[in-house]
Amino acid sequence: MILKDKTLQNAVSPTAKAGQKQEQDVAFFLRRAFKDHKQVYVINDFKFSHNNETAQIDHLIVYTFGFILIESKSITGEVKVNNLGEWARSLNSKWSGMASPIKQVELQQKLLKEMLQDNRENILSKLFGIRQQSFGMRCWDHICAVSSNAIIDRESMPNNVSKQLVKTEFLVDKLEQLMNLKHKVVSALTFDTRPDFNEEELKSITSFLMAQLDDTKYVKEITKTEVVAEPTIAKEKDKTEAVLQCKSCGEKSDYSPQYGRYGYFIKCNKCETNTAMKMPCASCNSKNTKVSKKKETYTLSCGDCEQNTVII
């Protein structure tokens, strides 16, 4: 089941366009394979924050036995990895080093696991009503999907890295091997020692994860009634102006506008929390918005109602 499709960005540079195409290719294969699968949930472009840290996972899979994180990487030349785990790629017959996408997705996985563990009492039920379940013993895997026309030098590559590196066209085969999901009849006749999530728990996990995309706080009462807090970015009553405020302490003026990997954001001078400037349109509530800067002015533009709002 696809919970979130790939979000198209206004890519300009050739590198950004190639990266976006690779993510689109991966999303296409995931959609073809799992759009009707009741045990597999796919979230593309999953961005979340926890403990004042932010991560973006290109493709996140939640399934009966655990989680798989996929890092998409556009590589059209040759890629090598030495025995120290250092990556190199060729472009127009010239070699250059590159950051390890495996290390990158490992950091994302660590933060995701921490967030789920810290919220386990709100997400998972207790075994026999006594012992709180956790996420530590679940299956956690991460792989890197590179362009199908890449040349991978596996002879000199460490075996553990080679197992985590796959061309896009073989991605689904790799995922099915990792998940090892059997038909119900086969499962009943075999013994699988992996702890699993039941249908209710899968829905609870995915609901929690999807709630993180809207910058809302997820609260689950003992009665299992879900309560969603108000968004951390307030709006004026007339809905013609949007007011930025720190998502942590609510500060509305003492902050510094900055730009990072994920776009424009404000850094609170009181609690040092980062809050994205991008927010729903105050006029039509559409999420199809983007932030632009001209000199010292920051403007939120809506792609649906074409409303332009100065936010700083």
17: amino acid identity, one letter: K
CA distance 181 to 56: 27
135-159: per-residue pLDDT in tens? 988 999 999 999 999 999 999 899 9
Asked if 57 and 50 touch (Cβ cutoff 8 Å), the reply is: no
The residue among 294, 277, 278 whose CA lies nearest residue 286 is 278
Print pLDDT tens along the chain (312 aa): 999 998 777 777 888 888 899 999 999 999 999 999 999 999 999 999 988 899 999 999 999 999 999 999 998 889 999 999 999 999 888 999 999 999 999 999 999 999 999 998 889 877 766 778 889 889 999 999 999 999 999 998 999 999 999 999 999 999 999 999 986 555 556 678 899 999 999 999 999 999 888 443 433 332 333 333 333 443 333 344 557 888 888 888 888 888 766 678 898 888 888 899 988 888 888 888 888 877 778 888 888 888 888 888
Angle at 246 between CA 245 and CA 247, to 5 degrees: 110
CA distance 45 to 85: 26
* Tokens found for residue 64: 């009966």
Query: What does the radius of gyration of the chain's CA atoms come to, in whole angstroms?
Result: 21
* Tokens found for residue 240: 């013609």
185-206: per-residue pLDDT in tens? 555 566 788 999 999 999 999 9
Name residues whose C-beta falls within 8 Å of residue 161's C-beta, 6 or more positions apart in sequence: 81, 85, 102
pTM for this entry: 0.67
Order the strands of the 289-294 sheet from edge to edge: 289-294, 297-302, 308-310
Q: What phi-psi label fits residue 26: left (phi over 0), alpha (psi between -120 and 50 degrees) or beta? A: alpha
Angle at 58 between CA 56 and CA 61, to 5 degrees: 105
* Tokens found for residue 82: 């030495």
Burial 195-219 (b: 16+ CB within 10 A, else e): eebeeeebebbbebbbbbeebeebe
* Tokens found for residue 188: 């009943």
